[in-house]
Amino acid sequence: MQSIRDLKSNFSGPPPPPMAPGPDAYLQGNIRMTLENTELWKTFHEIGTEMIITKPGRRMFPHCKVNLSGLIPCAKYVLLVDMVPEDGFRYKWNKKKWEVAGKAEPQPPCRTYLHPDSPAPGSHWMKQSVSFLKLKLTNNTLDQHGHIILHSMHRYHPRFHIVQADDLFSVRWSVFQTFTFPETSFTAVTAYQNTKITKLKIDHNPFAKGFRDEGTNKKRRANKDPSCLEKRTKASDILNSEEDSPPEDEELPKRKEEDGVKEERYSPWDAEREHRVRTDSPVGADTRDLYSTEQLVPTPASYQSYSTEQPLGQWGGPGPSQYPPPHHLTADYTTQAVHHSYHHGNVAEWSQYPLFSYSCW
């Protein structure tokens, strides 16, 4: 098995240019991570992805699913995900677009989701796509279940970390490689603001199938309380007129919606992006630039910055028996780090990762 130190050479010096897949895919450190369902993610991203957060915790949809290559088959790895604030702002939905509504609230306790299969050999991670289906988001700052805590009306993006480590406790001595995908950024909300996002979710999420057929939906409510039908019909009418989607094309509702969506690329964020240009936003004017340039991650609470030559030695967690809920880690980011991230299509190249100070639970 290759030692962790061997990998380190790949983290020193300036970040490499985007790599193309090739015969050297298994070269040490040549780890590649690609996002699955990129088309779906992009469809949401073009409208302005929203993720519901609830007290008991809510799954993401679309959920994060990635493919990995370039790992050492026999070496063990740990996969982690955390949520990084996009910027230092709080947002509000004003009619048809998101607008900055002030400074971000103080960051909630930062938590990292540990993939349930971790640690597992590289061959395991590479043989099939890796799903983070069970990752849950919550707005409950006192959450005891280990869900990732976010603020409503704030923007985040998931960040994936892969660590070569034989077990959870050697993670602290190991090297991180970090990946992000521009299209996975989202706004955390307690109720959907953009009706187009609601429609997309209903169209694509199997659990929301019950909301797909308007007729069925109305009938369902009508059975319980006829007055509801009237209200719902009115609401539906408003929605339809708002969306300019003729009710008669029930045959291809999804396609119609997607077509309509693409006409409004990034429109929900136009105002906000303009705002960023005018202000001292720590990130670029366009979210797409955010991931391809040197980046400060994230805001007030921060990350620790180390030379990439150093092993991760800040894992301050308790012993195994003290780990309450499995699959979750709490990160305490204490200082700021510079984070490089490079993208090539939907391929997130390895980055000069920030080394966290993890205080586990």
The residues of the shown chain that bind DNA, judged by CB under 7 A, are: 52, 54-55, 58-59, 61, 92-93, 101, 134, 136, 139-140, 152-153, 189-193, 198, 201-202, 205-211, 216, 219-221, 223-224, 228, 231-232, 235-236
Q: Closer to DNA at the Cβ: 124 or 232? A: 232
Q: Closer to DNA at the Cβ: 224 or 278? A: 224
Q: Closer to DNA at the Cβ: 88 or 354? A: 88
Rounded CA-CA distance 45/51 in Å is: 11
One-letter amino acid of 138: T
Rounded to 10 degrees, the C-alpha dihedral 194/52/48/112 comes to 170
CB of residue 155 vs DNA: minimum separation in angstroms?
13
CB of residue 149 vs DNA: minimum separation in angstroms?
12
Rounded CA-CA distance 205/198 in Å is: 10
Rg for the chain, CA atoms, rounded: 21
Q: How far is CA 84 from CA 51, 87, 111, 236, in A?
A: 14, 9, 10, 36
Q: Closer to DNA at the Cβ: 210 or 316? A: 210
The CA-to-CA distance between both ends of the chain, in Å, stands at: 31
CB of residue 132 vs DNA: minimum separation in angstroms?
12
CB of residue 355 vs DNA: minimum separation in angstroms?
31
Identify the residue whose tokens are 């007030």: 300
CB of residue 53 vs DNA: minimum separation in angstroms?
8
User: In a 3-state reduction of DSSP, which class is residue 334?
Assistant: coil
Q: Closer to DNA at the Cβ: 223 or 279? A: 223
Q: Closer to DNA at the Cβ: 139 or 302? A: 139
Rounded to 10 degrees, the C-alpha dihedral 2/71/31/186 comes to -130
CB of residue 65 vs DNA: minimum separation in angstroms?
13
DSSP state for residue 10 in the 8-state scheme: G
